[in-house]
Amino acid sequence: MKAPARVFVSAGEPSGDAHAASVVRALLRRRPDTLVEAFGGPLLRSAGATVRFPMEPYTVLGLFEALGKIPAHLRLLRTLRGDFAAGRYDLVLLVDYPGFNLRLAESAHRAGLRTLYYVAPQLWAWRPGRARRLARAVDRLAVVLPFEADFFRRHGVPCEFVGHPLAERDWPSRDMARRELGLPAEERIVAMFPGSRQQEIERLWPDFRDAGQALVRERACDRVLVAGREAAVYPGVEVAGLTLVTGRADSVLAAADAAVVKSGTTTLEAACTGTPMVVAYRVHPIWAMLVRRMVTVRWFSLVNLVAGEPVVPELIQRQVSARRLVEAVRPLLEPTSCAANTQREALARVRRRLGPPGAAERVAGMVEELLAA
């Protein structure tokens, strides 16, 4: 009788925990006897994995916190290297979390284990030469952005575009979201997403807040919804016209006529709800100076990168100001304006390019293929 397959899953943060859980659930439907152990969180546990290493002690929210977690990550890496060398697993599934997972992939490869990386490091954005290192460390790569497949194949990485996990979600309609949030159908609403990490919030929130107040004051909109994190601090959010909403980001986006969002996955979420947006980002000036010399892409927002053209306005570093945010979002609040209609049409194209539902099933299929090889 053939022994059950033994799989280790590494997902060191909440988004990776969610993506990995979907894959494990799909894998266990296909192969119920598979033994899955993980570095992850509660979603992986609920999907059927045994979480040997809970991710919470390793999760960080900023640069200085990350430096403090390096020793713990090194200890975990040494432990897993020993497990790999001892033959505890047949395959390693790595999900996002590139700083740690790329090193873990190299360790698994040296031990002769099959390796599959899901949600690729964004090597196409800066220092693309590192893709050669990834090519040596993984057997297969499952990417979630359509333009990534060509990039990684050019660098010798066996790669498959599996579609984006956002295509799996059921997005609320505008009417449904407004009913859920108790908002009148006729109000003009701006959604603001200043980020989830406190450092991001501290850099972006003052300008977001002042822009929101100005839009309400000049009656360009009736209300500003601030998508917040419960533990975060948003000074001045209690002013008239601004409402802090936690835990319902999808509904906030869907309910809005336009949005101001931090660069990141939220831009693709806004595309999925069809919400016109302005994208802003600001990092520490020293970090910005270092990265600027290595960046190889024309745009920094994922929605523009997927579109292959500048479909949404981008403001970065010193460009981010309350005045510029107001000027950029104001035309999007007119439902019949050329700016709003043009963006909605482009966002619909972006949604289609994210692929059909079924990303987790396709990745589970890749796991099966590698286990059978």
Strands 35-40 and 6-10, by their bridges, are: parallel
95: containing domain: 6-163+358-372
Residues 195 and 304 in one domain: yes
Who contacts 74 (Cβ-Cβ below 8 Å, separation ≥6)?
Answer: none
- Is 113 among the domain residues? yes
Residues 282 and 158 in one domain: no
Residues 183 and 331 in one domain: yes
pLDDT at residue 289 in the model: 60
| Alpha carbons 290 and 340: distance in angstroms, whole number | 35
pLDDT at residue 241 in the model: 86
pLDDT at residue 282 in the model: 82
> Residue 102's domain is classified under what CATH number?
3.40.50.2000
Half-sphere exposure of 336 (CA within 13 A, CB side): 0
pLDDT at residue 290 in the model: 59
Tokens for 305, please give them: 């990168």
> What distance lies between CA 226 and its chain's CA centroid?
19
- Is 77 among the domain residues? yes
Count of domains in the chain? 2
pLDDT at residue 111 in the model: 96
Radius of gyration of the CA atoms of the chain, in A: 22
Strands 159-161 and 91-95, by their bridges, are: unpaired
pLDDT at residue 202 in the model: 87
| Alpha carbons 36 and 90: distance in angstroms, whole number | 10
Residues 15 and 137 in one domain: yes
Residues 17 and 145 in one domain: yes
pLDDT at residue 238 in the model: 85
Half-sphere exposure of 335 (CA within 13 A, CB side): 7
Q: What residues pair up with 108 in beta bridges, in sequence order?
A: none
- Is 1 among the domain residues? no
Q: Chunked in runs of 10, what are the mean pLDDT values of the chain (373 residues)?
A: 89 92 97 96 97 83 58 92 96 94 95 96 74 91 94 92 94 96 95 86 92 95 93 85 92 97 93 96 66 65 93 90 96 90 96 95 97 89
pLDDT at residue 91 in the model: 98
Residues 141 and 233 in one domain: no
Residues 141 and 225 in one domain: no
Residues 330 and 187 in one domain: yes
pTM: 0.89
- Is 123 among the domain residues? yes
Residues 365 and 307 in one domain: no
For residues 287, 289, 293, 297, the Cα torsion angle rounded to the nearest 10 degrees is: 70
Residues 65 and 196 in one domain: no
Residues 105 and 179 in one domain: no
Sign of CA dihedral 285, 291, 296, 302: negative
Residues 89 and 209 in one domain: no
